A and B are shown apart, each in its own frame.
Chain A
Amino acid sequence: MPFESGQVPQGEARKRVVMQYYPYLLMFVVFDVVGMFLFAWGMSFADIPAADSFFVLLFLFLLGAPLGYALKMALNRENW
Chain B
Amino acid sequence: MDLSIPPDITFVVLTTITLLAAIMALQSKELIYGAISLAVSFIGIAGFFVSLDAPYLAMLQIAVYVGAVVVLILFTIMLVRRDEPDKDEMGESSEGAAGLWIAGLLAVSIAGIAALAGPSLPTTPATGNLPISQLGPVLAETYPVPLIILALLLSGALLGALVLAKVDR
Do chains A and B directly touch (beta carbons under 8 Å) in the complex? yes
The answer to whether A43 touches B155 (Cβ under 8 A) is no
Interfacial chain B residues near A73, Cβ < 8 Å: 162, 166
Residue of A nearest to B69 (CB): A29
Cβ of A75 under 8 Å from chain B: no
User: Which A15-49 residues have C-beta < 8 A from chain B?
Assistant: 15-17, 19, 22-23, 25-30, 32-37, 40-45, 47-49
**In the assembled complex, how far is the CB of residue A35 from the closest CB belonging to chain B, in whole angstroms?**
8
Give 1 or 0 for each of B144-169: 1 = CB within 8 Å of chain A CB.
Answer: 10011011101101110110011101
**In the assembled complex, how far is the CB of residue A51 from the closest CB belonging to chain B, in whole angstroms?**
9
Cβ of B72 under 8 Å from chain A: yes
Cβ of A3 under 8 Å from chain B: no
The answer to whether B78 touches A14 (Cβ under 8 A) is yes
Interface of A is mostly: helix
Interfacial chain A residues near B134, Cβ < 8 Å: 44
The answer to whether A79 touches B147 (Cβ under 8 A) is no
The answer to whether B158 touches A59 (Cβ under 8 A) is no
Interfacial chain A residues near B68, Cβ < 8 Å: 28-29, 32-33
The answer to whether B75 touches A25 (Cβ under 8 A) is yes
C-alpha spacing A44/B144, complex, angstroms: 16
A residues near B (Cβ < 8 Å) are 12, 14-17, 19, 22-23, 25-30, 32-37, 40-45, 47-49, 52-53, 55-56, 58-59, 62-63, 65-66, 69-70, 73-74, 78-80
B residues near A (Cβ < 8 Å) are 56, 59-60, 63-64, 67-69, 71-72, 75, 78-81, 83, 132-137, 139-141, 144, 147-148, 150-152, 154-155, 157-159, 161-162, 165-167, 169
The 6 A-B pairs at the shortest CB distance, nearest first, are namely A66-B155, A44-B136, A55-B144, A52-B140, A62-B151, A32-B68
20 CB-based A-B contacts, threshold 8 Å:
A14-B81, A16-B81, A17-B78, A22-B79, A22-B165, A30-B158, A33-B68, A40-B136, A41-B136, A41-B139, A41-B140, A43-B132, A44-B135, A44-B136, A58-B151, A59-B151, A63-B154, A65-B155, A66-B158, A69-B159
